[in-house]
Amino acid sequence: MFKVRIIHPRPTSDLYYNWNKADSYNTPLRGAIGKRGIGKTFGPFKKAILGAIKGFAFIYVVENKEQVKTLAQDRGVKFFEAIKQYATEHPTTHKGLLYKHLIEGTSSVDEDEELDDIFKTTTQLKGGTIRLNDKNIGYIIAWDDFANIKRNNFPKNIRYILIDEFMPEQTDINSVKISRKITSLLQSIGRTRNDFTVYLMSNALRRTDALLDRLKCSNIKLGEAYIVSDDYGPLLYMEYIDPNNFKKLNEIQDSSIAGRVAKLLDEDNLDKNIFRDELKDNEIIPSEPKPCSLLCCLHGEGSSIRISITKDHNDVYVMEDYGQNVKKRYCIDKRFIAPAVIFVPDYKDYLLGLYNRGIMKFQSANIKLIFKAILNIK
């Protein structure tokens, strides 16, 4: 049984997003949804790098292998760029402390030494393995290389998992698989461990995202944070960052060349279409549904849904398939034929007809996404 508590984090005077509030709840899963450049990824990344000094390692998850290849170019210059920028922009005391960490605890730091020279001698990223002072401190992996993830025996000192863009830009049935991949990844790290933290970052919110729905956060509003608890205590902290709380940063970004051009091209509000996939009121199954009977359970790639029709035949309810009533399990694609699943190709036209009549109501935006993916509705 999961419980959700909603809080409203107070605005801070920080220039960038600060993870202190999320970290204070000590949940295993910590997430932040907010616009680009607000500092979501840098906080966990800095924590992971500094944790490496204490002997911990981390995993950084990206969408595809091409991103891994890009980050690994030139010994990982692009990957470490944010840390270098942080060291450059902060006062000497902070920079000296960071240098000290990066060159593994030496007490004396030459402040005149070029930052690039320090990074060249202490950091390396090769083939997805991150090295600091000739020690493996982290790994970059891609969701589309999941077969290797399942075979990977990660070391026991993994302490942080950073998942960038946990809501993929591509809204298709593949996004439903992210939750399964995360579960498999965490099991690869340790099925009985309770000593690592998962950070989830995303640039934009999409109501139809399968993972967001399963995280119990599909109804989160701007400026809210959800704390999801199970029988063992708080499990997830998810914040939908309000950009209006970062006025100074907004002014800096708006006055930049990129910000001015974005405004000229009417692309300055990256979140203005954020709710375009949200269910309309007439598409939601009512809180008191009509009496209905099972039409079928429809199977697709890695998922299935339960479709029922009301006794008055005026509405069709599409819900999560919770595994009961093994009869009437159909598929409209031969690839998904199984011992208990019958291939009924004519059902596609029948269901498309019901959908086009506008009488279908859905349990959630995610269920609608699965339905459209199975029927290949664009």
- Let me know if residue 270 belongs to a domain: no
The mean per-residue pLDDT over the stretch 82-86 comes to 62
Confidence band, pLDDT 50/70/90 cuts, at residue 159:
very high
Q: Considering 264, 297, 318, which residue would you say is the last residue of a domain?
A: 264
Domain housing 229: 3-264
Q: Considering 264, 296, 327, which residue would you say is the last residue of a domain?
A: 264
The mean per-residue pLDDT over the stretch 244-250 comes to 84
**Rounded Cα distance, 109 and 99, in Å:** 7
Residue of 70, 75, 67 lying closest to 134 (CA atoms): 75
110 shares a domain with 192 = yes
337 shares a domain with 227 = no
3-state secondary structure the chain: CCEEEEECCCCCCCCCCCCHHHHHCCCCEEEEECCCCCCCCHHHHHHHHHHHHCCCEEEEEECCHHHHHHHHHHHHCCCCHHHHHHHHHCCHHHHHHHHHHHCCCCCCCCCCCCHHHHHHHHEEEECCEEEECCEEEEEEEEHHHHHHHHHCCCCCCEEEEEEECCCCCCCCHHHHHHHHHHHHHHHHHCCCCCCCEEEEEECCCCCCCHHHHHCCCCCCCCCCEEEEEECCEEEEEEEECCHHHCHHHHHHHHCCHHHHHHHHCCCCCCCCCCCCCCCCHHHECCCCCCCEEEEEEEECCCCEEEEEEECCCCCEEEEECCCCCCCCEEECCHHHCECCEEECCCHHHHHHHHHHCCCEEECCHHHHHHHHHHCCCC
- Let me know if residue 271 belongs to a domain: no
Question: Residue 278: its pLDDT value, please?
Answer: 60
Confidence band, pLDDT 50/70/90 cuts, at residue 89:
low
Confidence band, pLDDT 50/70/90 cuts, at residue 109:
very low
Question: Residue 226: its pLDDT value, please?
Answer: 97
Percent of the chain with pLDDT over 70: 76
Mean pLDDT highest for which of 62-76, 84-98, 334-348? Answer: 334-348
Question: Residue 128: its pLDDT value, please?
Answer: 76
**Rounded Cα distance, 293 and 141, in Å:** 45
- Let me know if residue 274 belongs to a domain: no
137 shares a domain with 103 = yes
Query: What integer best gives the mean pLDDT of the chain?
Result: 80
99 shares a domain with 207 = yes
Quote the number of domains for the chain.
2
Q: Is the pLDDT of residue 43 over 80?
A: yes
Q: Is the pLDDT of residue 98 over 70?
A: no
Q: Considering 236, 264, 292, which residue would you say is the last residue of a domain?
A: 264
- Let me know if residue 273 belongs to a domain: no
Question: Residue 217: its pLDDT value, please?
Answer: 92
259 shares a domain with 327 = no
pTM of the model: 0.66
234 shares a domain with 163 = yes
Per-residue pLDDT of 165-190, as tens digits, reads: 888 655 444 555 788 889 888 988 88
